[in-house]
């Protein structure tokens, strides 16, 4: 039975039970309250608690009036505001801008518990309630919207969320040291408007006011919202200064005001990360939700995060802009201690679901130069080919997984976070590869080739598909040698900037060759804070300032997606149309090399209307049989089969937003 006292206060009664006369901070979040280190709200509130501050949690408040924001009275030091673990617009809308009916971060998965653009709405309600009370915003939504940014849902460049929310300070990136520094300054009586020299902060001031760091101007909002080339150049400057070693302060103008982003806060080092993850998390959702639960806890309750940051830096991923490319990790001892806590939980069944992070198999910075020089601003560590200075070593990660498996009560340790397959295949010692495949794969391993066309992969910041093919071959060889029938679960993306219809046809042929029929494909989703989103909006690659082909038409996106799922009967008409547009009508026919059969009445006498995109798949009371060459997915064949390792199982779980 859970005890409310194991969680931070969520009601005035909880505050009184702790004998507090007031709270120092009220943390407002758009998620249900889950006290688990996979949730940003839990980490920040526990860090502040460890520093001696009294923190109350206001989870998913009623945003239709200011009343709920007065629940704890006026906090002594201020409000901390976050939309939750993900951007509220991504939480609410699909890539086709349709309203979602399920929210993984709400009690029982109920939708509508938070507003659109939650940070702005919450801050405006707080101002309505308390006027000039200090407000500090943070989390993913604030971090990725800290500058003028393209907003996919409105189709325009919006102002910084700091401007629209009327908050005092925006914290970006991983915020433990940032918020601790701010809290201590406020506690000493420093006015919020005077806090200007904390790294990892963004603030608004008058033009000409002193900036405490070396700085660069990136433009005026009135120009950036109209001039796409200026917008792309501004983003490139932001991206190149998202490094704590070489980054400088950046200035963006709004009328007579200037928005100042201080340089990034250095990432937490190993000892600091160990302290953060040793805090007394309840590792569960609050007792108020016991009747319905919170779906988001399911995958992470018995999982461990061992690292932060990602030097892979895919162009469509916001991790580089939020967590940064500087990888840091926890000590083996810290991770093992957390595993012991999990093993002691009453509902633990013996299986650690994951020991991962943004990229599971990264433990250290990509090279020795980063500590002095920072990450390279104009090139990637892995793509298109690994840097000559890249350090590839899985030894510590392998030892850590083995140490966890030795613990009493633990039957198996899985790795379910994304594995960077190009980093794994670059390791000349295949000991970890064998250990991973034989001990830590729960029947299927997630990987992200994303595409096979080189033009698409180069725009994504991904390696050549040949690298994936080498990885795939080795994965299935190791599986076969171990007598295991295992699967790869590849993430695939359609309509990414730079991807043409011909590229989509090439992808379809690649999928057909390997017998893979994906159940889900992720359409590119333009979210703030990524190189790919800038390409989508401007038609310019901000890192090279060269033009990029962009698919923005909804129907063209449907066609590209249909090609990647060409074997589905309901996609037949779209596939035919796409092939005609691509000049590949030779792939419409009845031969094994074709992607789709001719339409009914156009050369295929037995073609049924179901193949023209209609849902019905029955003739009388009988279901139409699948074509003989249809394969749901492809997998590693059992030892002794004729074609070992020539297939990959299709994705069975909902693709996460990128």
Kindly state the tokens that stand for 460.
């994504």
Q: How many helices (H) and strands (E) does the chain have?
A: 22, 26
pLDDT at 418: 84
Whether omega before 384 lies within 30 degrees of 0, making that bond cis, reads yes
User: Cα dist. 372→327, 365, 387 in Å?
Assistant: 14, 12, 17
Q: Where are the domains of the chain?
A: 4-203
CA–CA distance, 574 with 558 (Å, rounded to integer): 8
Burial of residue 513, with CB atoms counted within 10 A of its CB: 0-12 exposed, 13-18 middle, 19 or more buried: exposed
pLDDT at 601: 63
Q: Whose CA is closest to 456, among 550, 528, 320, 537?
A: 550
Return the SS3 of 532: helix
**Count of CB atoms situated within 10 Å of the CB of 507:** 25
CA–CA distance, 272 with 277 (Å, rounded to integer): 9
Looking at the chain, how many residues does it have?
658
Kindly state the tokens that stand for 242.
């998202």
Burial of residue 155, with CB atoms counted within 10 A of its CB: 0-12 exposed, 13-18 middle, 19 or more buried: exposed
Return the SS3 of 541: strand
CA–CA distance, 87 with 144 (Å, rounded to integer): 9
Q: Quick check: 259 and 251 in contact, CB under 8 A?
A: yes
DSSP bridge pairs for 103: none
Burial of residue 378, with CB atoms counted within 10 A of its CB: 0-12 exposed, 13-18 middle, 19 or more buried: exposed
pLDDT at 38: 96
Q: Which helix (H) or strand (E) holds 489?
A: strand 487-494
Q: Quick check: 146 and 180 in contact, CB under 8 A?
A: no
DSSP bridge pairs for 526: none
Q: What is the pLDDT of residues 208-251, one digit of tens each?
A: 999 999 999 999 999 999 999 999 999 999 999 999 999 999 99
pLDDT at 442: 87
Give the max Cα distance, the chain: 83
CA–CA distance, 38 with 36 (Å, rounded to integer): 5
CA–CA distance, 23 with 53 (Å, rounded to integer): 8
Q: Whose CA is closest to 508, among 567, 468, 557?
A: 567
How far from each other are the two terminal CA atoms of the chain, in whole angstroms?
36
Q: Quick check: 138 and 180 in contact, CB under 8 A?
A: no
Given a cut of 70, the residues of the chain with pLDDT beneath it are 601-658
4-203: what CATH class? alpha beta
41: CB partners within 8 A, 6+ apart: 27, 29, 31, 33, 34, 57, 59, 82, 84, 139
Q: Whose CA is closest to 478, among 414, 423, 433, 527?
A: 433
């Amino acid at each position: 039975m859970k005890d409310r006292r194991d969680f931070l206060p969520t009601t005035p009664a909880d505050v009184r039970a702790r004998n507090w006369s007031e709270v120092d901070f009220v943390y407002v979040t758009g998620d249900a309250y889950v006290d688990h280190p996979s949730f940003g709200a839990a980490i920040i509130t526990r860090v502040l608690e460890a520093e001696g501050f009294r923190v109350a949690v206001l989870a998913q408040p009623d945003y239709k009036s200011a009343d709920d924001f007065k629940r704890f009275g006026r906090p002594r030091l201020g409000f901390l505001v976050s939309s939750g673990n993900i951007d509220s617009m991504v939480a609410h809308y699909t890539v086709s801008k349709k309203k979602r009916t399920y929210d993984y971060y709400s009690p029982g998965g109920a939708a509508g518990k938070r507003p659109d653009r939650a940070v702005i709405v919450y801050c405006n309600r707080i101002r309505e309630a308390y006027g000039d009370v200090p407000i500090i915003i943070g989390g993913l939504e604030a971090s990725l919207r800290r500058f003028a940014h393209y907003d996919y849902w409105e189709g325009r460049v919006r102002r910084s969320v700091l401007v629209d929310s009327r908050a005092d300070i925006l914290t970006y990136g991983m915020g433990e040291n940032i918020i601790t520094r701010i809290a201590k300054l406020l506690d000493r009586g420093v006015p919020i408007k005077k806090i200007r020299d904390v790294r990892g902060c963004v603030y608004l001031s008058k033009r000409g006011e002193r900036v405490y760091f070396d700085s660069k101007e990136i433009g005026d909002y009135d120009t950036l919202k109209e001039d796409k080339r200026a917008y792309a150049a501004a983003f490139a400057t932001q991206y190149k200064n998202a490094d704590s070693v070489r980054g400088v302060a950046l200035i963006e103008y709004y009328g007579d005001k200037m928005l100042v982003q201080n340089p990034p806060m250095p990432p937490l080092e190993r000892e600091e990360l160990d302290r953060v993850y040793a805090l007394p998390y309840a590792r569960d959702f609050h007792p108020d939700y016991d009747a319905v639960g919170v779906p988001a806890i399911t995958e992470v309750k018995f999982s461990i995060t061992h690292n932060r940051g990602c030097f892979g830096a895919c162009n469509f991923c916001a991790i580089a802009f939020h967590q940064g490319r500087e990888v840091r990790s926890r000590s083996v001892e810290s991770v093992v201690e957390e595993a012991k806590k999990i093993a002691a939980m009453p509902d633990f069944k013996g299986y650690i679901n994951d020991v991962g992070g943004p990229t599971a198999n990264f433990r250290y910075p990509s090279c020795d130069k980063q500590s002095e020089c920072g990450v390279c601003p104009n090139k990637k560590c892995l793509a298109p080919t690994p840097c000559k200075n890249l350090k590839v070593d899985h030894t510590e990660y392998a030892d850590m997984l083995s140490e966890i498996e030795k613990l009493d009560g633990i039957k198996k340790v899985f790795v379910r976070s994304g594995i960077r397959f190009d980093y794994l295949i670059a390791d000349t010692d295949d000991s970890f590869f064998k250990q991973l495949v034989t001990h830590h794969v729960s029947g299927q391993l997630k990987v992200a080739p994303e595409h096979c066309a080189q033009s698409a992969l180069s725009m994504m910041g991904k390696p050549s598909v040949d690298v994936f093919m080498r990885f795939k071959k080795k994965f299935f060889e190791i599986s076969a040698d171990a007598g295991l029938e295992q699967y790869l679960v590849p993430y695939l993306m359609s309509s990414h900037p730079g991807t043409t219809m011909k590229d989509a046809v090439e992808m379809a042929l690649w999928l057909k060759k390997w017998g893979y029929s994906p159940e889900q494909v992720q359409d590119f989703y333009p979210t703030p804070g990524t190189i790919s989103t800038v390409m989508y909006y401007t038609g310019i690659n901000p890192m090279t300032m060269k033009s990029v082909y962009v698919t923005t038409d909804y129907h063209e996106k449907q066609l590209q997606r249909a090609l990647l799922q060409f074997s589905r009967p309901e996609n037949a008409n779209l596939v035919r149309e796409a092939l005609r547009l691509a000049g590949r009508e030779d792939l419409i026919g009845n031969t094994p090399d074709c992607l789709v059969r001719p339409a009914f009445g156009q050369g295929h006498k037995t073609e049924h209307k179901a193949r023209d995109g209609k849902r019905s798949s029955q003739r009388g009371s009988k279901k139409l049989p699948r074509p003989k060459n249809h394969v749901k997915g492809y997998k590693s064949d059992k030892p002794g089969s004729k074609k070992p390792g020539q297939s990959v199982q299709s994705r069975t779980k909902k693709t996460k937003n990128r």
